[in-house]
Structure 1
Amino acid sequence: MSGIIGKKVGMTSIFDAEGKNIPCTVIEAGPCVVTQIRTVENDGYTAIQLAFDEKKEKNTTASLKGHFAKANTTPKRKLVEFEVFPEEKNLGDVVTVDIFAEGDYIDVVGTSKGKGFQGVVKRHGFGGVGGQTHGQHNRMRAPGSLGASSWPSRVFKGMRMAGRTGGDRVKVQNLQVLKVYPEKNLLVVSGSVPGAKGSYVIVDK
């Protein structure tokens, strides 16, 4: 799939033609530079590598400096490969938000907000034990029995328990492009996008 690398700006809402208020997310999409072209002969597959967001040279390794120099561009922070582009790309070409149009449907990949170590109520939506009578004074948000006794004498993998929540790679599919602002490299899409403000996202067509 073709696409672009972006950065989540935040959420807002706009009104459609019928006056309905639609929640939407603003994404700073591109401009991205083509920094590598993968071919079957050299790499065993075909893909286009895009780079986004300026990075200081002093914070860039020598090998990456050479990598970006081949594309005649400055160091970038985020590198992502895309499988297919409708038109042929060359090293140093710039991909902008113009590849999208209002009404397009896209998929957005991001890293969800990290929430730290959480219990089963917040992490998995458990309801707790219910009432507070009959001596239940401190079990309201407890997981309850795990169901494993003399057999199998262990806890099965995947058991829903407390643990680290968030910080996962999440894809949200079929979001509609509501507005495109090429002069500001902004994309306004319907609904919510995973991640905190300022986090990187991958927008797939």
Structure 2
Amino acid sequence: MFSPFFKLFIFFLVNIINVQSQHNYFRCPYRYESVEESFRENKIIRDLDLDETQIYDNIQFIPLKYPNSDKVTCGAYLTKKATMKEPQVTFDPAGKKKGADKKLFTFMMVDPDAPTPRNATSRSILHWLVVNIKGNNMKTGTTLAKYLPPAPTPNKGAHRYVFLIYRQPKEVASRKTYVTLQERSNFQVTSFAIQNRLSGPLAGNFFNEAVQN
């Protein structure tokens, strides 16, 4: 039989592991800051005009990985060649609660630095938009904007490419698609969220990319 002291030790150890796991759920891997702290430090919340009253207590981390490239880890620098094809997205904002697979989510990728970081008159370029995602299965969603590879202006500095996940109260009825660059330009993240009554962002990630001639 285990002694009361050993049982107490195991109890505290399990709780420490659970707390640490929960803490890491909102933390950028390999970095000493949370996703929200990274977003604020890199002025993403400000430049995307995210409604801070809608941001959950903590922004979860969205795991992403491009083919033949490193994982996207809150501000990593990636090359144009590495980001030509859409990344693999894995997320679980619904959790493993009963009925979580029936919850609906919106996933988007935007560039707030177009055409250049110093003159972002096209803020933001919509690079990817999928709505009505059931649970964490991206394949169940409706794609309103197909993946558009990053194309930062050469020799004008790095662009931030931001990924966001919002929760939907119901199915997004809009069937508007974004195909041309003109249709994708000046996409307003917060306006879209308010119009469709989205909550969040509850998860995020981003990377930087620059082109030097």
TM-score by length of 2: 0.24
Larger strand share, 1 or 2 = 1
Which of 1 and 2 has higher RCO (CA within 8 Å, sep 6+)?
Answer: 1
Max Rg structure: 1
